[in-house]
Amino acid sequence: MNENFMGGRVVVKFGDITQEETEAIVNAANSTLMGGGGVDGAIHDAAGASLLYECKKIRQSNYPNGLPTGEAVITAGGDLKAKFVIHAVGPIYGSNKGKDAQLLSDCYANCLRLAAENNIKTVSFPSISTGAFAYPKEEAAQVSSQVIEDFLNHNLTITQVFLVFYSQDDARKFVENPKFS
Ligand code: ADP
């Protein structure tokens, strides 16, 4: 099932994000940037040791206390088909004093901004925060669709955004709850 929005600039699909052939894939990282479970572990495994090495350097030089929630950094893609990985820290649902939606929105916006700054034209996102970080999938769909639409309406560098869901059911939950106008 591939569903399109915004005239095909946003594509919803089902699959494993480590197999994406877009120029950049987004990692739903945690603030340590040292890898972890879920999509983070899968991306580090598929990319190889150079990804962790670059993340360690970013921690040392810019974020000794970890990458704050809502922010994103970019590395090369190592052994992945994607040339770049954009690592973003999503909010842990319910632990941000009512700011979960703003922080999730910031995450997507910062990833898209980094992509555009690096002249990246195609980028794939996993469903940030909706696994271990427990963000309700229907709510996350509303937040992500709105920020992506807003960004793409003001930026022409990025030609296509792929939203990659790990199950058909998750893709369906997105398609039934988007806020694209
Ligand atoms: P978070 O800690 O941000 O919640 P998770 O990795 O636990 O991150 O989950 C985020 C989303 O990524 C979940 O919806 C999960 O089903 C999905 N996911 C896990 N592995 C993959 C993968 N290989 N490709 C795409 N999505 C994945």
d(CA 134, CA 130): 5
Render pLDDT for 55-73 as a digit per residue (tens, 0 to 9). 999 999 999 999 999 999 9
- Is 16 annotated as catalytic? no
d(CA 128, CA 91): 9
- Residue 93 has what pLDDT? 98
d(CA 72, CA 120): 15
Residue 104 neighbours by CB under 8 Å, 6+ apart: 70, 90, 91, 128, 129, 135, 140, 143, 144
- Residue 30 has what pLDDT? 98
Render pLDDT for 71-118 as a digit per residue (tens, 0 to 9). 999 999 999 999 999 999 999 999 999 999 999 999 999 999 999 999
User: What domains lie within the chain, and their CATH numbers?
Assistant: 2-176 (3.40.220.10)
- Residue 5 has what pLDDT? 97
- Residue 1 has what pLDDT? 65
Render pLDDT for 132-166 as a digit per residue (tens, 0 to 9). 999 999 999 999 999 999 999 999 999 999 999 99
Banded pLDDT at 2 (limits 50, 70, 90)? confident
The predicted model scores a pTM of: 0.98
Render pLDDT for 28-42 as a digit per residue (tens, 0 to 9). 999 999 999 999 999
Report the nearest-CA residue for atom 19 of ligand 1.
Answer: 39
Whether 67 lines ligand 1, by a CB cut-off of 6 Å, is no
Whether 85 lines ligand 1, by a CB cut-off of 6 Å, is no
User: From the CA of 132, how far away is ligand 1's center (Å)?
Assistant: 8
Q: How many CB atoms lie within 10 A of CB 38?
A: 16
160: left (phi over 0), alpha (psi -120 to 50) or beta: beta
At 76 the three-state DSSP class reads: strand
d(CA 21, CA 34): 24
d(CA 105, CA 2): 23
Catalytic residue among 16, 40, 45, 170: 40
d(CA 108, CA 90): 9
